[in-house]
Amino acid sequence: MKGSGLQDLQNARDERALPIDQVGVSGLRVPIVVLDRQRGRQETVAQITLSVNLPHHFKGTHMSRFIEVLNRHRGEVTMNTVPAILADLKACLAAESAMVEVAFPYFLEREAPVSKAKALMDYECRFVGEANGRRDDFILGVAVPVTSVCPCSKAISDYGAHNQRGRLEIQVRCRKRRSGGRDLVWIEELIEIAEASASAPVFAMLKRSDERHVTMQAYDHPVFVEDMVRNAAGALKNDPRISWFRILAVNQESIHNHNAFARLEWKRPGPGKGRRSDR
């Protein structure tokens, strides 16, 4: 019977001399705990992708081990715990490199600008962690919904100005510390930068007095998608903790059925030749 002493096909040799960059599982949905600046911890639900490299001489990887590793760590998936998850993946799967991608909604209680009424806002966040012999990486990303008023429409019209919901997505890589680990940037800080780069923030609840306030605030601060990425870039460059960033601004144009977008990537110039291991 095949069943007794089940064959381990994945461990068989592969003769095609083709190493594979990434092998793993995607679309895992699990509850996780992340860091929360105000409350310490926040429970949310994540979509997770886990992968490792596969040396050319192995036929396959053992997919169930990804789930075992995730199970052991799912209590906490944060900048502080991702290195341990990556080390565990490398060890359990006999791999040289490992990668973890985590996407989750993050909730913040926000106060309306005039009424001070409180309500939760949700922000799509994302971690990407990577570890191998040569490099060790961690990227934090946040997508922030905002209001944008078009400067051109305002300038050329006698009254009014088209505006729309926009989305400002910021990804950052933080400086490594000599003592080990990386500088910490809070999700909340990136949200603040994104909102300050747009015409006005977006809220879950606005009473009439608030709606009046944000309508005029937005009209007083018109921005193109180009302005949004530049405003955010200026703020991020001035933060010494941040060594690299990518910004994407997308406007759901209210006068079109398509979107306008701008994208800007930047890397802090290094002291000497940029070694990849410095990421």
**Residues numbered 127-186 forming contacts with its own copies, rule: CB under 8 A:** 145, 147-153, 155-165
What is the CB-side half-sphere exposure of residue 258 using CA atoms within 13 A?
2
Q: Which of 85, 89, 233, 242 binds its own copies (CB under 8 A)?
A: 233
- Nearest distance from C-beta of residue 273 to its own copies, angstroms: 17
Q: Does 9 bind its own copies (CB under 8 A)?
A: yes
Q: Which of 108, 227, 243, 245 binds its own copies (CB under 8 A)?
A: 227
- Nearest distance from C-beta of residue 149 to its own copies, angstroms: 7
Q: Which of 94, 103, 184, 202 binds its own copies (CB under 8 A)?
A: 202
- Nearest distance from C-beta of residue 114 to its own copies, angstroms: 10
**CB of 232 within 8 A of CB of 168?**
yes
- Nearest distance from C-beta of residue 65 to its own copies, angstroms: 9
Give strand ranges (E) for 112-212: 118-132, 136-149, 163-174, 200-201
- Distance of alpha carbon 227 from the chain centroid: 21
Q: Does 212 bind its own copies (CB under 8 A)?
A: yes
**CB of 56 within 8 A of CB of 14?**
yes
Q: Which of residues 48-87 bind its own copies (CB under 8 A)?
A: 49, 51, 54, 59-61, 63-64, 67-68, 71, 74
- Nearest distance from C-beta of residue 79 to its own copies, angstroms: 21
Give the C-alpha separation, 207 to 216, whole Å: 14
Number of residues that bind its own copies (CB under 8 A): 105
Give the C-alpha separation, 148 to 250, whole Å: 10
Helix (H) or strand (E) holding 246: strand 242-251
**CB of 138 within 8 A of CB of 99?**
no
Q: Does 26 bind its own copies (CB under 8 A)?
A: yes
